[in-house]
Copies of this chain bind each other. A is one copy, B any other.
Amino acid sequence: MRCRDGELEVVRVLIAPLPNSIISEEVSELPLDFGGVMGDRHHGTTRPSDTRQAGFYPRGTQIRNRRQVSIVAEEELELLRQAFDLPDLRPEELGANVLVRGLKDLSAMPIGARLLFESGAGLVCEGVNRPCQLPVHALRARHPGAGLRGFVKHAFARRGIVASVERPAGIRAGELVRVHLPDVLAPPRS
């Protein structure tokens, strides 16, 4: 492992090419533009709002796309794998675009944190990836006997983060990632 404390290392990069399938596939380079991952089902500078924005906008409203890139951590996938006694848990089955290692609590990263890649790519954390049922279906297909009851609930805050592109570049396995937390400015004492 190349990364030091406070740094991440990219382990794999993946694209989910099919609009109706969560499954992502490993690629040699993750091509980014301001719409996210080119060729991925979540690509776009805007997108229709879904149930996650219920209460904010009528469903189907065109809104800025803040969930362009899905990032998961080896450390958290291992916790999930153990919790459900699975032989393995692949980032493909979570539709992840980037698998990283080096941080115990990726999912706790605050909104606004920057992920700065060696390639020059810059992503902005847009918050935890709220779990859905799709990974359960994908896992069940490969592990028909697995007890996956409670997976969605258990995956809360272990399912990584979603991010948007601040500066596009191509991301590759082996790159180091520097994490920069957002400034918190206190008012002056007066």
Contacts and interface: CB of A to CB of B under 8 A. Distances in A.
Interface size class of A (residues with CB under 8 A): 35 or more
Nearest to A114: B56
Contact of A190 (B83, B165, B182): B83
Interface string A36-47: 000000000110
Interface stretch (A9-17, A58-66, A88-96): A58-66
Contacts of A110: 111
Contacts of A166: 63-64, 66
12 contacts: A49-B167, A62-B167, A64-B164, A64-B166, A64-B167, A83-B190, A107-B185, A108-B187, A111-B182, A130-B183, A130-B185, A156-B187
